[in-house]
C-alpha cells in the first residue's frame, strides 16, 4: 500500500499548482479507480483465458483394410486435437508424415496421438505397416482449416 500512496501524493502536488484542492482530490480519485478498474479487467481477462483452455478435440479414426473411416478429417488450425485411432482388423500404422506422426495401431488396441497444427492445408494420412495386397491404397486426408 505504501507504494501506492507515494505517487498519489506527487500527483496531488503537481495538479495542485493548477487548480483547487477539490479538483486535485477528484483527479487522483479517478486515477485510482481507473487503475483499479484496469487491474480488475486484466485479472478477469487472465481468468477467462484460463477457463477457455479447453481439452483437446477428440477425433475417432478407424483403420481397416483398406481405408480410413472417416477418410477425411477436418480440424481447425491452432486447435489441439487428440486422434483416437483403432484398428478394425489387423495391425496398421497411423502415419501422417507432415506432422511427424507414426503410431502402430494394433488389432483391438487404441493408439492416441495428440497434436496441434499451426499451418493450414491438406495433409495425407496413410498406413505405415504393410497390412495386405492393397496396403498402398490405404490413404486418407487431414484438412486443416
Ligand atoms: Cu495398412
Q: What's residue 13's pLDDT?
A: 45
Kindly give the distance from the C-alpha atom of residue 116 to the centroid of ligand 1, in angstroms, as a whole number. 24
Helix (H) or strand (E) holding 112: strand 110-116
Kindly give the distance from the C-alpha atom of residue 45 to the centroid of ligand 1, in angstroms, as a whole number. 47
Kindly give the distance from the C-alpha atom of residue 66 to the centroid of ligand 1, in angstroms, as a whole number. 7
Q: What's residue 7's pLDDT?
A: 46
Q: What is the dihedral of CA 9, 14, 19, 22, to 10 degrees?
A: -10
Kindly give the distance from the C-alpha atom of residue 76 to the centroid of ligand 1, in angstroms, as a whole number. 27
CA angle 16, 21, 24 (to 5 degrees): 65
Kindly give the distance from the C-alpha atom of residue 33 to the centroid of ligand 1, in angstroms, as a whole number. 65
pTM of the model: 0.65
Q: Which residues pair with residue 61 across a beta bridge?
A: 85
From CA 4, how far away is CA 128, in angstroms rounded? 64
Tens of pLDDT along 71-119? 999 999 999 999 999 999 999 999 999 999 999 999 989 999 999 999 9
Query: What's the grid cell of residue 25?
Result: 482530490
Tens of pLDDT along 7-51? 444 444 444 444 455 555 555 566 665 666 555 555 555 555 555
Report the candidate in 86, 67, 89 with the shortest Cα–Cα distance to residue 136: 67
Ion ligand 1 residues within 5 Å by Cβ: 92, 127, 131, 135, 138
Amino acid at each position: 500500500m505504501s507504494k501506492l500512496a507515494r505517487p498519489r501524493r506527487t500527483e496531488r502536488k503537481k495538479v495542485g499548482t493548477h487548480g483547487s484542492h477539490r479538483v486535485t482530490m477528484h483527479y487522483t480519485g479517478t486515477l485510482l479507480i481507473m487503475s483499479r478498474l484496469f487491474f480488475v479487467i486484466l485479472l478477469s481477462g487472465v481468468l477467462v483465458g484460463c477457463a477457455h483452455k479447453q481439452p483437446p478435440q477428440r477425433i475417432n479414426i478407424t483403420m481397416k483394410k483398406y481405408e480410413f473411416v472417416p477418410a477425411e478429417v477436418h480440424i481447425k488450425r491452432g486447435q489441439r486435437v487428440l486422434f483416437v485411432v483403432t484398428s478394425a482388423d489387423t495391425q496398421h500404422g497411423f502415419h501422417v508424415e507432415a506432422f511427424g506422426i507414426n503410431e502402430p495401431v494394433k488389432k483391438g488396441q487404441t493408439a492416441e496421438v495428440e497434436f496441434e497444427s499451426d499451418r493450414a492445408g491438406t495433409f495425407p494420412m496413410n498406413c505405415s505397416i504393410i497390412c495386405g495386397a492393397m496396403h498402398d491404397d490405404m490413404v486418407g486426408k487431414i484438412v486443416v482449416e
